[in-house]
Amino acid sequence: MIPSQWLATLLGGFIAVQAAVAIDLTVTDQSSLKSAAKQVATDMMNYYDNRDSKNIPGKLDGTWWEGGSMFMILIQYWFLTGDSQFNSVIQEGMYWQKGEDDFFPSNYSQYLGNDDQVFWGLAAITAAELNFPEESNQPSWVSLAQGVFNTQVPRWDTSTCHGGLRWQIWPYQAGYQTKNAISNGGLFQLAARLALYTHNQTYAQWAERIWDWSATTPLLKEKNWNIADSTSPESGCTDHGDWQWTYNYATYISGAAYMHNYTDGKESKWKEGIEGLLGTSEQFYPTKGFGSDDGSILAEITCEAIEKCDRNQITFKAYFSSWLAWLTLIVPGTSDQILPKLATSATAATKTCVKDGHLCGIQWYKQASDGTDGLEQQMAVLGVLNANLVPFKNQAPYTSDTGGTSKGNPSAGTNSTATNTLITKPITTGDRAGAGILTVIFVTGWVVAITWMIRGG
């Protein structure tokens, strides 16, 4: 018995050491970044493959929008690493959820917000900009992004606050009573990217309109470059929910970057916006109150230290890190400010990938396991690894005249029933059935809305 006990002790020790092994990353080495990213992406897709709703492509359990953001990050991963093993899964999910070419599928449209929809649009424009493979019998990536734009623009609500998108789309939804940064910043970014990709000025005009409108509200305070999360039409868009979130900043910064490039650097407002918001984004590299206080590790400061990040919030750092990294390619001169801290963040992030030897946590500043794991944690770490691969690939997003092959369709999504004009136009006999259906939706909608609030949006 003694030898085997001895062996067990030895083995036990070995397993304990194994379990503590994090993903090994040399952040200055492209192949090390690629292999770390491959591990993190593979684990993310294991969660995806093991979900309950796996017979519905692109639909994650308990959330719809995260499917879109996950594909966005995976498309970047493919482009930056050349690893195409997930491409068919991405295509399948994106096409399945495309709705009437507007990413507003009727299964979920009753309870979606503008922000949910726009993330799928951002995934589609990412696919277009990176020449992600298209299927010939399917709408093009850029047309799907246009479809989202075309269904969101009619929701621009001038009846309160002289404009702005509401968070949610239907009056029975709790979020209908707010106008928030991610919905407006999301459409701003989408419009700016469509402007640069297609060179159609209409998109640029909308981008500028959304930016300028945001600047009349707490959602974009140009005076001190602060971004409030939300404001309410009831207050005339003067009140403000002040939680600070990385993705709110990143979506406006990224949109401004595309506009800066679209206008050839000739409109100073975009450069000023980028510089101002990059400055206030430094708050996400905290210098106190977090384990590592040297200001070099990205943290979702509003929820991480108190361990209250919900699953949505766990993903935000993916968007912040990758959008800012891509920005350095279209706004020359920003790399020195942006990239070094994304490198230290990636190194810290992979040190949380300890569970079972490789599953990641979310409190990167701890640089050790935080005891959590999940698809969202993997997505966040994949985002910051992508960010570090961007300068190695060093290929700016393609546009229609620099090699982008995806072909636009300016009227995509215009057949859609997804705008809320049904509610604001005078009711005709033809609409009465619709109104009846709406009453039913109203009731179920409240249940969904309440669940939504409990889940924290």
Ligand X SMILES: *[C@@H]1O[C@H](CO)[C@@H](O)[C@H](O)[C@H]1NC(C)=O
Give the residues lining the site for ligand X (CB under 6 A). Answer: 56, 59, 96-97, 105, 107, 200, 202, 261, 264-265, 329-332, 396, 410-412, 414-415
Contact indicator for 111, 448 with CB cutoff of 8 Å: yes
Shortest separation between residue 59's beta carbon and ligand X, angstroms: 5
Q: Which helix (H) or strand (E) segment is 180 a member of?
A: strand 179-180
Cβ-based nearer residue to ligand X, 208 or 304: 208
Minimum CB distance to ligand X smaller for 83 or for 267: 267
Q: 4 or 136, CB closer to ligand X?
A: 136
Which residues, including other chains, have CB under 8 Å from residue 17's CB and lie 6 or more apart?
A: none
Minimal distance, residue 190 CB to ligand X, in Å: 12
When the beta carbons of 160 and 414 are compared against ligand X, the nearer one is 414
Q: Which residue has the tokens 């992030």?
A: 349
Q: Which is nearer to ligand X, 180 or 198 (CB)?
A: 198
Tell me the C-alpha to C-alpha distance, in Å, between residue 454 and each of 166, 265, 442, 451. Answer: 20, 44, 18, 5
Instruction: Indicate the length of the chain as a whole number.
Output: 457
Looking at beta carbons only, is 67 or 113 nearer to ligand X?
67
CB of 417 to ligand X, least distance (A): 11
Query: For 55, left (φ over 0), alpha (ψ -120 to 50), or beta?
Result: alpha
User: Of 138 and 202, which CB lies nearer to ligand X in the complex structure?
Assistant: 202
What's the closest the beta carbon of residue 332 comes to ligand X, in angstroms?
5
The number of angstroms, rounded, from the C-alpha of 75 to the middle of its chain's C-alpha atoms is: 13
Provide Rg for the chain, Cα atoms: 22
d(C-alpha 268, C-alpha 258), whole Å: 13
The least distance separating ligand X from the CB of residue 48, rounded to whole angstroms, comes to 15
Would you say 73 or 331 has its CB closer to ligand X?
A: 331
Q: DSSP 3-state assignment of 360?
A: coil
Least Cβ distance, residue 264 to ligand X (angstroms):
5
Instruction: Say which residues have a Cβ less than 8 Å from residue 21's Cβ, sequence separation at least 6.
Output: 354, 357
Nearer to ligand X, 145 or 181 (CB): 145
Give Cβ neighbours of residue 20 (< 8 Å, ≥ 6 apart).
354
Rounded least distance, CB 101 to ligand X, Å: 6
In whole angstroms, how close is the CB of 244 to ligand X at the nearest point? 28
Assess contact for 418 and 99: CB atoms under 8 A.
yes
- Candidates 168, 153, 144, 150; CA nearest to 71 is 144
Which pair of structure tokens corresponds to residue 452?
A: 């939504």
Q: How far apart are CA 184 and CA 219, in angstroms?
A: 9
Give least dist CB 270 to ligand X, A.
10
Q: Which is nearer to ligand X, 295 or 410 (CB)?
A: 410
Nearer to ligand X, 204 or 301 (CB): 204
CB of 354 to ligand X, least distance (A): 35
Rounded least distance, CB 329 to ligand X, Å: 6
Q: Is 275 exposed, middle or buried (0-12, 13-18, 19+ CB in 10 A)?
A: middle
Residue with tokens 């409990």: 454
243 to each of 179, 297, 320, 454, how far by Cα in Å?
14, 19, 16, 17
Which residue is it, tokens 């999940």?
A: 374
